Amino acid sequence: MSEKVFLYEELLKEVKELMDPKCGDIANMANFTAAIKNKFNFWWCGFYLINANNELELGPFQGPTACTRIGFGKGVCGSAWQQEKTIVVPDVHQFEGHIACSSVSNSEIVVPFYKKGKLIGVLDIDSEHYNTFDENDAFFLERLLAYLD
């Protein structure tokens, strides 16, 4: 098992324990991003949620300050929303329309976030390194998000 898969297996157990059914989404989403950020020390990890104006709006996150609103189909986040699929970006500088909230970010993954079968936002993770994310991240992050359903 690779180190990454091992850490994700640990994270699955930790996040399952961490999610508090007596809390609202914000508390659980905040802890969810903290658990991921601390496990892998990613540069930035956070949610964008679809707001009343049909834009993605910054939600609970861990890391430096970030862009607050992203349009449908814009950037990696808006594209993952539009396509309703996980997008892995090995080099953000090669992604047309990438929104640079931070010049430090070099690779990124964005995973659609569903609740009760409805897409309500995305989970976005940025790395200061190139080629950080692959199909393992997509697989495990999708599984982790199911704990927030």
Where do contacts with ligand SME occur on this chain (CB under 6 A)? 44, 66-67, 70, 75-77, 98-99, 101, 105, 108, 124, 126
Nearer to ligand SME (CB atom), residue 12 or residue 99: 99
Residue 59 Cβ vs ligand SME, minimum distance, rounded to whole Å: 11
Taking Cα atoms as reference points, which of 43, 39, 30, 46 lies closest to residue 6? 39
Q: Residues 60, 36: contact at Cβ < 8 Å?
A: no
Residue 1 Cβ vs ligand SME, minimum distance, rounded to whole Å: 29
Nearer to ligand SME (CB atom), residue 16 or residue 93: 93
Nearer to ligand SME (CB atom), residue 31 or residue 127: 127
Q: What is the DSSP letter of 146?
A: G
Nearer to ligand SME (CB atom), residue 117 or residue 130: 130
What do you get for the CA distance between the two ends of the chain, in Å?
28
Residue 11 Cβ vs ligand SME, minimum distance, rounded to whole Å: 20
Residue 95 Cβ vs ligand SME, minimum distance, rounded to whole Å: 7
Residue 46 Cβ vs ligand SME, minimum distance, rounded to whole Å: 6
Nearer to ligand SME (CB atom), residue 8 or residue 63: 63
Pairing state of beta strands 87-89 and 69-70? unpaired
Q: At what angle do helices 135-145 and 3-18 cross, to 10 degrees?
A: 10
CA distance 101 to 82: 20
Tokens 């929104």, located at residue: 99
